[in-house]
Amino acid sequence: MTRICEVQFKGVRTDYYTHRGDRPVRDREYVIVQADRGRDLGVVKRWVDAESHTCDGGCTHAEDHPVVPPQKRILRRAAPVDVERLFELREEEPGVCRKTRELVEEHGLNMKVSDAEWQWDKKKLTVFFTADRRVDFRSLVKDMAGTFRTRIELRQIGVRDEARRLGGIGRCGRELCCRTWLKDLEPVTLQLAKDQGLSLNPAQISGACGRLMNCLQYEHESYVQANKRYPKKGQTLTTDRGTEEVVSWNHFQETVTLKDETGETRVVSREQLREETDAHRGPPAPVENGGGGDDGDDGDQD
């Protein structure tokens, strides 16, 4: 049987591989896979049957068709000694970052080393860094190759990708969305915060990466729909207490904050506010008959 497996590596990096054999791999199982000029070790995140799995036409295809298995393959299941070697490499990586930072200072390069990742067979070392602009690191790569005795790859990433790779806790007290479940990082603009009535203080709406929080983007639609159900802020309404001004509303609790002419505020539910305003709105105005026929059509006749 042929299966397509999604394998996860360090820093929530994933890739797809083909697995053939009568015994299927299981989720969360360590496997040895083909890598760049060697082998790497990862964890099976999920898998599907390649023979029955088809594209449903939701991409760029006109009709359903079988999915072509990836060329890269899962070579075998990882033995306990293989996993132990991976853990040993992970313990070495902080030291690799420290040494790389020393070399960066010697070369006078304006770049921030974020993380390092050994390939399982130690035939390749990838170092991730952030920088404001492009960096000429050719001489740095030569020194690193001589220091670590392996093939070096320096990969520049953005601050959002850095936060995803390193992880952390957001202002909400939960693990970062980009680290756990949010795959696509869409652009976030300040207008989204304005639409949601949030403070425009950067310290209040920025994430661990220093950029605007991703939740401003994927929560925005709920605020757009709420704007259609609630009165506008600053609007004057006639309620049981007379004339009141809408100060704010909370669409999660479905409440509205009102302020009367004396400056006193109160919080009412959206349902209660609708009942109060309907009671003081008065009966609808009568509709005059335009003199048309019984069917109500008052248009011109030929």
pLDDT, one tens digit per residue, over 168-217 is: 999 889 999 999 988 888 889 999 998 888 889 988 999 999 999 999 99
Long-range contacts of 163-171 (CB under 8 A, 24+ apart): 163/207, 163/208, 163/209, 164/11, 164/12, 165/11, 165/12, 165/13, 165/114, 165/115, 165/128, 166/11, 166/114, 166/115, 168/208, 169/208, 170/207, 170/208, 170/213, 171/207, 171/213
What's at 198, amino acid-wise? L
* Three-state DSSP class for residue 202: helix
The maximal CA–CA distance of the chain, rounded, in angstroms, is 96
Look at residue 283 in the predicted model and tell me its pLDDT: 60
Which CATH number is 230-279 given? 2.30.30
* Residue-by-residue DSSP string for 92-128: HHHHHHHHHHHHHHHHT---EEEEEEE-TTSSEEEEE
d(CA 182, CA 12): 11
Percent composition of the chain: helix, strand, coil (DSSP 3-state, to 5): 30, 30, 40
Beta bridge mates, 169: 175
- Res 128: pLDDT: 97
Task: Compute CA distances 86 → 82, 92, 199, whole Å.
Answer: 6, 10, 45
Question: Could you report the per-residue pLDDT of 3-28, keeping only the tens digit for each?
Answer: 999 999 999 999 999 999 888 899 99
Coil, strand or helix at 164: helix
Contact 137, 153 (CB under 8 A): no
Structure pTM?
0.76
pLDDT tens-digit profile of 142-173? Answer: 999 999 999 999 999 999 999 999 999 998 89
Beta strand pairing call for 151-156 and 124-130: parallel
pLDDT confidence bin for 54, thresholds 50/70/90: low
Distances (CA, A) of 32 to 25, 74, 80, 121: 12, 6, 12, 10
Residue 17: what residue type? Y
The total number of residues shown for the chain amounts to: 302
Who wins on pLDDT, 54 or 73?
73
Residues 253, 255, 256, 262, CA torsion sign: negative
Q: Decide: 256 and 266 in contact? Cβ < 8 Å.
A: no
Report, at the CATH architecture level, how domain 85-157 is classified.
2-Layer Sandwich (3.30)
pLDDT of 285 reads: 54
Closest CA relative to residue 17, chosen from 27, 32, 38: 32
Which structure tokens are listed for 156? Answer: 């520049």
- Bigger pLDDT: 225 or 79? 79
Give the per-residue SS3 of 236-290.
EEEECCEEEEEEEEECCCCEEEEEECCCCEEEEEHHHHHHHHHHCCCCCCCCCCC
Mind listing the pLDDT tens digit for each residue in 218-274?
989 888 888 888 888 888 988 888 889 999 888 788 899 999 888 889 999 988 888
Sorted by where each begins, the domain ranges of the chain are 2-78, 85-157, 178-218, 230-279
Distance CA 97, CA 103 (A): 10
